[in-house]
C-alpha cells in the first residue's frame, strides 16, 4: 500500500463535471486555505502553469514544483505542485488533490491515477477532480466520498462545419498528429496570418511562448493536439476538430464522446459562451454526438486500470510475478503490459544485466531505471538499450553515471540548427537526460548537470519557438489584419519599381503584366485588402497595356526561347500555331487584364512577331508570298516553305525531272539552290535564321526550344556529333542532315558532292571512287563515320580488289604442317599484318534507286525506239552496262534520274 493509506480517515470530496466549471480554481483555493498541500496534475505543462499561479500568490519560497524532468525545491515549501507520477508520497500534507481523475481508465498511465485515488490522502481533506463519468466508480470504490457535481459556467453549442478560411478569430483547431498539426498551421498562416502551435511534446517553455503569442493577440488562431483539453486555460471562443482519430500509443482509434467533449470544452471561458464544430475534410457530427457533448451526458466509466503497488524485489522473477498480480476488487482490471514492464523484460534478457540484479537493492534500482519515460517515442529495443547502459553504470563499482558519458549525451543535443522535426527530436532526447539528472545519487555534481541539461533544453525550446513562429506566423500579414479591423477601406500604392504596398506593408510586385503576391502575405486577405490591391493593380495594368500597345518594335525582344520581353519583363511566349511559320502567342498577363486592353496587347505582339519573322526569314517569306510562280515551281516553293527552307532532292525527283530550266531560274532568283542532295536556301543556313527556324520547329512540335537550342551546334559549326536527345527533325530545321553519329550542314554536303565528282572524273573506274583525306577533313569525321554519311546519301560500296600478297620461300616453309589441301590462309596466318588495313578498302558508287509505282522513271526520258531493232540494241546496251562492273566512259548511258549520279550529270550539263 502507498504511504497515503495512513490518512484514509480524512474526508474525500469528488468534484466532478465538464470543463470550465472552475474545478481546478476551487482546488487551488482550498489548498491555500491550509498550511500545507499537494496537487497532482496529468501534464508537466499544466503543473508548471499552476505552479506559476501559486508562486504569485504565496511566493517562490513557499511552493515546490516536482515533475519527472524538473524540480524546484525551496528549503521548506508548504505547497507541492506535481505531476501525478512524481508526487512525493512520503510527504504528509493537510490537503491533497488529484486532477483529471478519469485518467484512471487510461491503458498506459491509468494504474497510477487509480493508486492515487485509492491511497493518496490529505491529513484534513482530499479532493478528486475530474469528469462526471467517474461517479459510478467513485461510489463503488469510495462509498463514503462526497460527490459534488459542478455545472458548466457557460453554454457550449455546436456550430457545424466551417472551412478553414471561414473559421472565426480566437479559434483552436485540433488535430492528433504532428504532421497534421504542422500542415494545418501552414494553411492558417497563408489564410489568416499565422497560428500558435500547442502539443504535449513541447517543453513548458516552448508551449508557454506559443500560448503567450496567442493570448496577447499576436495571432488569433491556435492549432493543437488534445493537450489543450487538460486544463490549459486560454481565451478560446471556438474549437474546430480537423480530426477525431488518434494514436494512443497502442492503436489508432476514434476518440469517444467524453474525450471529444474534454477538448470541445476549451471553448468559452468563465461566463463567455463557446462553440465547437468540424473543419477541413471532417464530416459533420451526428445529432446524438452533438447532444452528448452539449449536455455532458456520456457512458460512465465501468472499470479502472490497476497494478499491484506492493512489489516483491526478492528476485527478478518475483518482481515480474508481483507486477502481474490480479486486482483485489471488482471494477479494477490489471493494466496491460506497459512500457516500463516491456523495458524490464528486455533488459533482463541481457545476461550481463540479469547477473547484476541479484539482491533487493539492485532489483529496486533495475525497476527504477525501467520506469524512465520514453520521451522520444522510439522503438522499445532502442529505449531499453539506453536504459541497460544506465543500469550497468549505476550497478557497477562506481555506482554512478560517468561524467564524460553523460556530458557526451547532453552535448549531442546542444545544437539549435535544423528544421522543426530535428529540433523536436533533440528536445525529446534532452528530456531523457533532464529526467536522469533529477534522480538523486545517479550523477556527481547533480546541480551542475541539472543546470546544464536545463540550459540545453531552454535553448532548444527557444529555437523551436522561433522556428514555429518563422514557419507558421506571417508577422506582416498579422499586423496588417489587425490594422484593418473595423475598417471598410485600405490604402494601397505602387512605387517606381512596381512594388505594391497596402497600409505601408509590402503586398507584392507587378512584373511586366503580372502581379505576384508576396508569399508571406495571406493567400485569402480580407475583403478590404483584396479590394485595395485589385483597384491599384488593375489601374496600373491598364496603363501598362496602353503604353505597350503604342511602343516601337525596338522596345520588344523575342528570345531564342520564344519569350517576348518588354522593359526586361517576360510578357508573352510563342506556342504552336497552324503551321511552322505562324506561331500563336500566349500572353503572360494577370487575369484582371481583360477586354479591350488585353486585345490591344495581343494584336500589338502579333504584329511584332510577324514583322520579326518576316525580317529574320526574309528569303523564305518572300518565296511564300511570290505570286509570279506557277505550276511546278509554285508547288515546289510551297514544299520548300512547308519544310522550313529545304527538302531532300530525292523526295522531289519526279517534280524536278518535269521542271524546265525557266521554272528553275525563277526559283534561283528567289535564293533557292538546286544542290546534289538537297534543294535549299543558303541564306537560311546563317546562325540567326537557322536558330529561328529551329525555335519555331520546337514550338510547332510541342518541345522546349530553350532546351533544344542549348544542345544545338554552335554558330559557325558545319559538322558535329549528334545529340541523342535531339530528333532528326530538329537538325533538319537547323539546315543539317544526320548520318549515323554525325550531323552535317547542307552546304557542306554540296562541297562533298564536288569532291566526289572530282574523284569520279579523275579515275578510270567509271562511277566508282574511294574515300579521300579531303572528304574526311571536310566532314570533320573518321573514315567509319564517312562511310555512314555516304550510305545515307545513297551510295553503295564494295571491297576494293586487292592483289594477292606474294609469299616468300621462308613464309611458305612456315606453313602449318597439318594444313589440309584446299584450305586458304588469312593475312594473319602469313604474318602479313601490314596488309590488313588494305583489306577493308572499299570502292563507292551511286546505287540505282527503285522506280516509283506512281510515275514510271522512263516516262520523261527519250521516246521509245522506232523499231524492234533499235529496241533490241537499247536493251542490249542496258544489259551490258548493268553486268559490267567497269563502265565505258564513251558510252552515253541512260541514267535513272532518282540516283545521285543523275544529279551530278545534270549539274555538268547546267554548267556547260
Residue where a domain stops, chosen among 472, 503, 537: 472
Tell how strand 742-745 and strand 842-846 pair up. Answer: unpaired
For 533-579, how does the pLDDT look when each residue is reduced to its tens digit (9 = 90+)? 788 888 888 888 999 999 999 999 999 888 999 988 999 999 988 88
Work out the mean pLDDT of the chain and round it to a whole number: 84
* Domain assignment of residue 578, yes or no: no
Number of domains observed in the structure of the chain: 5
Indicate the SS3 state at residue 245.
strand
User: What per-residue confidence (pLDDT) applies to 508?
Assistant: 80
| 21 domain residue, yes or no | yes
32 and 178 both lie in a single domain: no
**Helix ranges (DSSP H) in 473-626:** 475-483, 527-549, 595-616, 618-625
Let me know if residue 63 belongs to a domain.
yes
611, 556 Cβ separation under 8 angstroms: no
pLDDT at position 880, please? 43
Rounded CA-CA distance 590/222 in Å is: 34
* 75-104: pLDDT as tens digits: 999 999 999 999 998 899 999 999 999 999
What pTM does this model have?
Answer: 0.57
Last residue of a domain, one of 113, 133, 149: 149
Spatial distance between the Cα atoms of 61 and 40, rounded to a whole number of angstroms: 19
Q: Does one domain contain both 453 and 533?
A: no
In sequence order, which residues have a C-beta less than 8 Å from that of residue 643 and are 6 or more positions away?
A: 732
Do 450 and 538 fall into the same domain?
A: no
Using one digit for the tens of pLDDT, what is the confidence trace for 345-372?
A: 999 999 999 999 989 999 999 999 999 9
Query: Is residue 372 in some structural domain?
Result: yes
Same-domain pairing of 436 and 531 = no
> Which residue intervals of 265-315 are DSSP H helices?
287-295
Rounded to 5°, the CA angle 801-803-806 comes to 160
User: Does the residue 640 lie in any domain?
Assistant: no
Structural domain of residue 803, as residue ranges? 747-816+830-911
Rounded distance between C-alpha atoms, residue 626 and residue 645, angstroms: 14
- Angstrom distance (rounded) from CA 567 to CA 538: 19
Indicate whether 93 and 74 sit together in one domain. Answer: yes
Q: Are residues 174 and 138 in the same domain?
A: no
Q: Is it the case that residue 815 has pLDDT exceeding 90?
A: no
Helix (H, G, I), strand (E, B) or coil at 855: coil
Retrieve residue 370's grid coordinates: 525501467
The residue-averaged pLDDT of 380-398 equals: 92
For residues 379 and 289, membership in a common domain is answered with no
Mean local confidence (pLDDT), 457-466: 92
Asked if 845 and 868 sit in the same domain, the reply is: yes
> Is 675 inside a domain boundary?
no
Convert 686-716 into a string of H (helix), E (strand) and C (coil): CHHHHHHHHHHHHHHCCCCHHHHHHHCCCCC
For residue 591, with 0-12 CB atoms within 10 Å meaning exposed, 13-18 middle and 19 or more buried, which class applies? exposed
> Do 466 and 400 fall into the same domain?
yes
176 located within any domain: yes
Asked if 353 and 407 sit in the same domain, the reply is: yes
- Mean pLDDT is lowest, of 184-188, 299-303, 490-494, for 490-494
Question: Is there a contact between 507 and 533 (Cβ–Cβ < 8 Å)?
Answer: yes
Residue 528 lies in a domain: yes
pLDDT score at 819: 45
My answer on whether 399 and 495 are in the same domain is no
> Same domain, yes or no, for 249 and 364?
no
Tell the burial category of 98 from Cβ atoms under 10 Å away from its Cβ (0-12, 13-18, 19+).
buried
Q: Any idea what the CATH number is for the domain that residue 247 is in?
A: 3.40.50.300
DSSP string, 141-190: H-TTPEEEE---SS-EEEEEEE-GGGPPSSEEEE-SSHHHHHHHHHHHHH
Among candidate residues 381, 326, 322, 376, the one with its CA nearest the CA of residue 349: 381
Domain boundary among 418, 440, 472: 472
Distance, in Å, from the CA atom of 764 to the CA atom of 766, rounded to the nearest integer, reads 6
In this predicted model, what pLDDT tens digit does every residue of 229-242 receive, in sequence order? Answer: 765 678 899 999 99
Mean pLDDT value across residues 11-34: 92
How long is the chain?
912
Amino acid at each position: 500500500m502507498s504511504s497515503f493509506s495512513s490518512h484514509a480517515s480524512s474526508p474525500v470530496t469528488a468534484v466532478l463535471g465538464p470543463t470550465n466549471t472552475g474545478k481546478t480554481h476551487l482546488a487551488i483555493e482550498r489548498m491555500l486555505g491550509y498550511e500545507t498541500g499537494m496537487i497532482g496534475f496529468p501534464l508537466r505543462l499544466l503543473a508548471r502553469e499552476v505552479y506559476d499561479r501559486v508562486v504569485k500568490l504565496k511566493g517562490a519560497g513557499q511552493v515546490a514544483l516536482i515533475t519527472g524532468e524538473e524540480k524546484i525545491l525551496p528549503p521548506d515549501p508548504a505547497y507541492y505542485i506535481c505531476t501525478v507520477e512524481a508526487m512525493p508520497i512520503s510527504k504528509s500534507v493537510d490537503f491533497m488533490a488529484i486532477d483529471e481523475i478519469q485518467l484512471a481508465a487510461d491503458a498506459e498511465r491509468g494504474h497510477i491515477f487509480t493508486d492515487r485515488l485509492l491511497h493518496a490522502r490529505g491529513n484534513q481533506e482530499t479532493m478528486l477532480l475530474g469528469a462526471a463519468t467517474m461517479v459510478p466508480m467513485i461510489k463503488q470504490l469510495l462509498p463514503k466520498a462526497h460527490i459534488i457535481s459542478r455545472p458548466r459556467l457557460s453554454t457550449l453549442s455546436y456550430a457545424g462545419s466551417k472551412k478553414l478560411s471561414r473559421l472565426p478569430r480566437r479559434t483552436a483547431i485540433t488535430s492528433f498528429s504532428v504532421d497534421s498539426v504542422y500542415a494545418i498551421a501552414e494553411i492558417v498562416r497563408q489564410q489568416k496570418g499565422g497560428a500558435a502551435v500547442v502539443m504535449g511534446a513541447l517543453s513548458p517553455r516552448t508551449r508557454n511562448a506559443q500560448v503567450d503569442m496567442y493570448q496577447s493577440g499576436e495571432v488569433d488562431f491556435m492549432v493543437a493536439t488534445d493537450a489543450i483539453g487538460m486544463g490549459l486555460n486560454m481565451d478560446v471562443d471556438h474549437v474546430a476538430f480537423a480530426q477525431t482519430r488518434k494514436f494512443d500509443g497502442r492503436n489508432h482509434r476514434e476518440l469517444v464522446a467524453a474525450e471529444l467533449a474534454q477538448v470541445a470544452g476549451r471553448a468559452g471561458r468563465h461566463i463567455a459562451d463557446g462553440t465547437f464544430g468540424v473543419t477541413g475534410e471532417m464530416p459533420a457530427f451526428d445529432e446524438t454526438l452533438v447532444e452528448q457533448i452539449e449536455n455532458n451526458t456520456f457512458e460512465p466509466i465501468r472499470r479502472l486500470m490497476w497494478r499491484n503497488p506492493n512489489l516483491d524485489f526478492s528476485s527478478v522473477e518475483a518482481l515480474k510475478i508481483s507486477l502481474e498480480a490480479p486486482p483485489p476488487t471488482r471494477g479494477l482490471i490489471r493494466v496491460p503490459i506497459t512500457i516500463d514492464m516491456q523495458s524490464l523484460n528486455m533488459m533482463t534478457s541481457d545476461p550481463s544485466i540479469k547477473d547484476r540484479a541479484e539482491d533487493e537493492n539492485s532489483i529496486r534500482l533495475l525497476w527504477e531505471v525501467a520506469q524512465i519515460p520514453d520521451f522520444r517515442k522510439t522503438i522499445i529495443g532502442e529505449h531499453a538499450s539506453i536504459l541497460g547502459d544506465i543500469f550497468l553504470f549505476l550497478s557497477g563499482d562506481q555506482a554512478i553515471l560517468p561524467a564524460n558519458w553523460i556530458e557526451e549525451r547532453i552535448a549531442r543535443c546542444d545544437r539549435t540548427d535544423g528544421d522543426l522535426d530535428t529540433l523536436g527530436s533533440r528536445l525529446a532526447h534532452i528530456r531523457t537526460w533532464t529526467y536522469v539528472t533529477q534522480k538523486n545519487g545517479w550523477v556527481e555534481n547533480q546541480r551542475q548537470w541539472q543546470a546544464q541539461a536545463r540550459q540545453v533544453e531552454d535553448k532548444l525550446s527557444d529555437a523551436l519557438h522561433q522556428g514555429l513562429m518563422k514557419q507558421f506566423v506571417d508577422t506582416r500579414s498579422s499586423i496588417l489584419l489587425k490594422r484593418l479591423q473595423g475598417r471598410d477601406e485600405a490604402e494601397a500604392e505602387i512605387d517606381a519599381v512596381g512594388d505594391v504596398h497596402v497600409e505601408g506593408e509590402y503586398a507584392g510586385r507587378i512584373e511586366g503584366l503580372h502581379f505576384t503576391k508576396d508569399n508571406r502575405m495571406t493567400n485569402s486577405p480580407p475583403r478590404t485588402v483584396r479590394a485595395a490591391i485589385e483597384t491599384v493593380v488593375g489601374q496600373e495594368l491598364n496603363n501598362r497595356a496602353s503604353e505597350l500597345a503604342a511602343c516601337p518594335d525596338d522596345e520588344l525582344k523575342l528570345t531564342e526561347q520564344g519569350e517576348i520581353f518588354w522593359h526586361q519583363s517576360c510578357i508573352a511566349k510563342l506556342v504552336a500555331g497552324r503551321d511552322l511559320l505562324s506561331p500563336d502567342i500566349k500572353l503572360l498577363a494577370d487575369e484582371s487584364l481583360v477586354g479591350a486592353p488585353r486585345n490591344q496587347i495581343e494584336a500589338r505582339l502579333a504584329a511584332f512577331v510577324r514583322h520579326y519573322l518576316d525580317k529574320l526569314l526574309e528569303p523564305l517569306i518572300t518565296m511564300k508570298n511570290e505570286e509570279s510562280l506557277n505550276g511546278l515551281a509554285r508547288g515546289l516553293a510551297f514544299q520548300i516553305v512547308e519544310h522550313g527552307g529545304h527538302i531532300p532532292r530525292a523526295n522531289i525527283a519526279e517534280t524536278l525531272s518535269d521542271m524546265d530550266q525557266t521554272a528553275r531560274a525563277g526559283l534561283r532568283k528567289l535564293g533557292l539552290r538546286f544542290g546534289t542532295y538537297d534543294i535549299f536556301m543558303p541564306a537560311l543556313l546563317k546562325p540567326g535564321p537557322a536558330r529561328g527556324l529551329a525555335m519555331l520547329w520546337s514550338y510547332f512540335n510541342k518541345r522546349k526550344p530553350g532546351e533544344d537550342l542549348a544542345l544545338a551546334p554552335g554558330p559557325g559549326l558545319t559538322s558535329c556529333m549528334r545529340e541523342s536527345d535531339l530528333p532528326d527533325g530538329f537538325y533538319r530545321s537547323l539546315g543539317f542532315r544526320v548520318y549515323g553519329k554525325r550531323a552535317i550542314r547542307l552546304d557542306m554536303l554540296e562541297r562533298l558532292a564536288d569532291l566526289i565528282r572530282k574523284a569520279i572524273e579523275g579515275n578510270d573506274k567509271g562511277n566508282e571512287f574511294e574515300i579521300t583525306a579531303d572528304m574526311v577533313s571536310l566532314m570533320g569525321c573518321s573514315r567509319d563515320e564517312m562511310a555512314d554519311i555516304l550510305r545515307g546519301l545513297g551510295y553503295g560500296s564494295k571491297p576494293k580488289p586487292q592483289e594477292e600478297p606474294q609469299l616468300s620461300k621462308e613464309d611458305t616453309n612456315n606453313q602449318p604442317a597439318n594444313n589440309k589441301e584446299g584450305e586458304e590462309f588469312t593475312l594473319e596466318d602469313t604474318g602479313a599484318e601490314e596488309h590488313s588495313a588494305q583489306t577493308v578498302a572499299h570502292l563507292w558508287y551511286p546505287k540505282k534507286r527503285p522506280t516509283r509505282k506512281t510515275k514510271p522513271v522512263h516516262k520523261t526520258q527519250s521516246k521509245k525506239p522506232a523499231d524492234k531493232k533499235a529496241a533490241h540494241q537499247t536493251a542490249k546496251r542496258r544489259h551490258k552496262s548493268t553486268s559490267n562492273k567497269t563502265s565505258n566512259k564513251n558510252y552515253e548511258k541512260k541514267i535513272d534520274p532518282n540516283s545521285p549520279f543523275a544529279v551530278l550529270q545534270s549539274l555538268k550539263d547546267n554548267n556547260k
